[in-house]
Amino acid sequence: MRKQKITKTSKWNGVGPKVVVDIPGPRAKKIVERDSKVMSPSYTRAEAIVASDGWGCYVRDVDGNVLLDLSSGMFVLNYGYSHPRLITAVERQMKKLTHFAGTDFYYESQVELAERLTKITPGNFSKRVYFGNSGAESVEAAFKCARWHTRRPRIISYTGAFHGRTFGAMSLSSANVLHHRNFSPLVPGVSFMPYPYCYRCPFGKECPDCGFACIDFIRDQLRKVVPPEEVAAVITEPIQGTSGYIVPPDGYFNEIKKLCEENDWIFIADEIQTGLGRTGKMFAMEHWGVVPDIVCIAKALSGGIAPIGATIAKAKVMDWEPGAHASTFGGNLVACAAAIEGMKIIEEQNLVKNAAKMGDYMFKRLKELEEKSKLIGEVRGKGLLLGLEMVKDKRTKERAPKERNMLVEEALRRGLIVFRGGRSVIRIAPPLIIQPEELELGLNIFEESLREVERKV
Ligand SMILES: Cc1ncc(COP(=O)(O)O)c(C=O)c1O
């Protein structure tokens, strides 16, 4: 096994992960206790990490533990924690003007950000941008826009999809019944199709010999259940995130795009987790050369500085009338300043290329682990968005949720943050700024943690 360095690892300040007290430590425990008395019980806090400060790929908790975060603060901190350029850009903006009513008047940064987004999203056609405050709001806007434009009541989504928790976005989601329980009636008109989850094919077939049975299924539904002329749009994540980084086979989305063109449906790509360079392309749909009509982004857009979501649509699709949709804080000055600076960082520092390069290395190392490990059934993903599906038995593919949880906890004990997904998947999504030393260190810790779990089970 490669030697693990515990100190002097960070290009940014040379600290490295260091666990000085069991997590949660005494200070963290007190805050968690206070939290349990006043905060909504609906949050799903898996680990009791209580943050204090952060830099680069590292976050320090309130007890002084320094953790290497290979989840990018849940896929938000593409530029790492507290990027100095983002802070300077935001400070500059705040000293000048903190708020102006962007829904009723104008300011330049909204326009500049919109111009930048129309340039980097796929499709060489004129586009328009709507700004909201979150991923869910970005999806709501896409959903409403598709209905408004087509005047059609139905929409196709996928089993295992996660698009957010507002009523519209929740109605399009089916990653967990918890998101629906006791909230009915949901927004009507949503038909869920099986996602192409080839490792566990819903049709029991093997890719690529299946002849896209999942597409045949949709075509059959269009004959028997869902009148295609009533469908406004298809919404999909290019790679399902919450359900465990499930990557559709090559050619799948091209078939879906064909269906959209045949039936005049709008193709909505929810790139909230996959967009802005994370998968080694600016947008994940580019891996298959598929051009969506609407792209939803949020999470990494402002680098975690201020809430923002954006819905970028073909100009002829986003044709709703004034007043049809707006939000007081959507695309606010501070978020726009951070997002514009972020766009410059991506470009100047070649972060998309870095994501592809670091991602290739990570994929190779994790694939080697898959070969050696009895618990890793499949490593999959693209760029810096990789998932490991954990199984009790590689032949039967029986899920291993307990072992998965043990591995996440074991890694955390060693100062490494990785994240759960699906029923027995570990998600790894380091910041796009990650350099070889940090990645190597993180993967070494991950490998050691895996060995420890394999020793225990
Ligand atoms: C693919 C996807 N869409 C939408 C959302 C919702 O985003 P938000 O939590 O900002 O509303 C998420 C959040 O995890 C997501 O991963």
Q: Whose CA is nearest to atom 13 of ligand 1?
A: 164
Please give the pLDDT value at position 7: 36
Residue from 273, 276, 296, 302 whose mutation best tests the ligand 1 pocket (most atoms within 8 A of CB): 273
User: Pick from 295, 296, 215: which is nearest to 249 by CA?
Assistant: 215
| Helix H or strand E encompassing 266 | strand 266-270
Ligand 1 atom at shortest distance from the alpha carbon of 134:
10
Please give the pLDDT value at position 46: 84
User: What's the whole-number mean pLDDT along residues 219-239?
Assistant: 98
Please tell me the pTM assigned to this model: 0.96
Confidence of residue 15 (pLDDT cuts 50, 70, 90): low
The tens digit of pLDDT for each residue in 110-134 reads: 999 999 999 999 999 999 999 999 9
Q: Assign residue 269 a region: left if phi > 0, alpha if psi is -120 to 50, beta otherwise?
A: beta
Residue 303: pLDDT above 80?
yes
How close is the Cα of 416 to the center of ligand 1, in Å?
A: 23
Amino acid at 265: W
Query: CA-to-CA distance for 148 and 172, rounded, in angstroms?
Result: 17
Q: Do residues 107 and 334 touch, judged by C-beta distance below 8 A?
A: no
Residue 34: pLDDT above 90?
yes
How close is the Cα of 136 to the center of ligand 1, in Å?
A: 6
Ligand 1 atom at shortest distance from the alpha carbon of 169:
4
| Helix H or strand E encompassing 220 | helix 213-224
Q: CA geometry: angle at 26 spanning 75 and 46, to 5°?
A: 30
Please give the pLDDT value at position 420: 96
User: What's the whole-number mean pLDDT along residues 439-454?
Assistant: 96
| Helix H or strand E encompassing 386 | strand 385-393
User: What's the whole-number mean pLDDT along residues 14-40?
Assistant: 93
User: Pick from 312, 276, 258: which is nearest to 385 by CA?
Assistant: 276
Q: Whose CA is nearest to atom 7 of ligand 1?
A: 135
Amino acid at 398: E
Confidence of residue 413 (pLDDT cuts 50, 70, 90): very high
245 lines ligand 1 (CB under 6 A): no
Domains in the chain, ordered, with CATH? 26-75+350-456 (3.90.1150.10), 86-348 (3.40.640.10)
User: Beta-carbon neighbour count of residue 164 at 10 Å?
Assistant: 23
Q: Do residues 93 and 337 touch, judged by C-beta distance below 8 A?
A: yes
Please give the pLDDT value at position 4: 37
427 lines ligand 1 (CB under 6 A): no
**51-55 and 58-61 strand pairing:** antiparallel
Helix 333-348 vs helix 351-372: angle between axes, to the nearest 10 degrees? 70
The tens digit of pLDDT for each residue in 180-211 reads: 999 999 999 999 999 999 999 999 999 989 99
- Listed in order, strand segments (DSSP E) in 56-122 are 58-61, 66-69
Residue 2: pLDDT above 50?
no
